[in-house]
Amino acid sequence: MKLAIVGVTGLVGSEVLKVLEERKLQIDELIPVASVRSKGKKISLNNSYWEVITIDEALEKKPNIAIFSAGSEVSKEYAPLFANNGTTVIDNSSFWRMDDSKKLVVPEINGHLINKEDKIIANPNCSTIQMVMALYPLHKAYKIKRIVVSTYQSVTGSGKKAVDQLMKERKGKKLNSEDMAYPHKIDMNAIPHIDVFQENGYSKEEMKMVSETQKILNDYTIKITSTTVRIPTIGGHSESINVEFEKEFNLEDVYSYLNDFKGIQVIDNLSKNEYPLCNYAHGKDDVFVGRIRRDESQPNTLNMWVVADNLRKGAATNAVQIAELFMLP
């Protein structure tokens, strides 16, 4: 098994290495890929060291699987080249997600759709993954009619530059425009602006949650509206979800469906102030659900609070789980 990680020195690439070690997958050859300035750097996996190479050099090595975490432009140019070379590409960028010929996969939900002929598989947006994980078992039981979601997203979702901006601001350092990942100060702030704004007034991140959710659940009748907000946290994304179903539900069954679904943990004990927190989710693979309660303003509607580590299940872990579908017997 030859596995390439494209963007190995970034936040997601580094997390992929951690997940591979934790899950004890058998990798015969790791092919760490980064930009030219990182060429020659040593990368550790399972007590072995591998030298970073360029993406063109990796292409010549014909890996069995390549996990891409290097942005849309790299994926646009190189994913087809690797695929044509026989490599299965698992892409973390947004480029292939809404391509009708590519599958958008959360393994617990639609991993069964993958086959050996799929050479480019899209990994969904981090905020979408944790939302559909929490909603899928309920959708099967009650059928979702409408979703209203507001996100509170960690700076880690914007990469190392954003983390550096927050930490420098927290230390009181002066920043110039080149140091800023965001158009505003992020420390002690909340910015309702993730990705670029579209003509309809929504951000690209907000529209991803709409289109990706419908594609993953294979239900384009679901109405979805989203507001995405960046907050000064590190560890995970949080979401306030209001979901209207076509069928009536009772809360006891809701808890049962969630508790029984692999990859979900319910934390919901108000008497002890127990509910999902992003610093608790940090470094964990599960999606955490709490503050589950009926919306008393209209029928068949539920409120919940959903938290997950955006670098783990929201990116690296989900990608590795897809890879496992090809690696495990």
Strand partners for 28: none
Which residues are catalytic, by number?
Answer: 126, 237
Q: Could you say which DSSP state residue 203 is in? A: B
Kindly state the tokens that stand for 150. 């507001």
Kindly state the tokens that stand for 72. 């849309």
Residue 174 CB coordination number (10 Å): 7
Is 271 in contact with 216 (CB distance < 8 Å)?
no
First to last CA, the chain: 13
Is 96 in contact with 123 (CB distance < 8 Å)?
no
Is 310 in contact with 283 (CB distance < 8 Å)?
no
| 3-class secondary structure, 72 | helix
DSSP H helices in 143-296: 160-170, 204-217, 251-259, 278-281
Query: Pick from 145, 140, 135: which is nearest to 300 by CA?
Result: 145
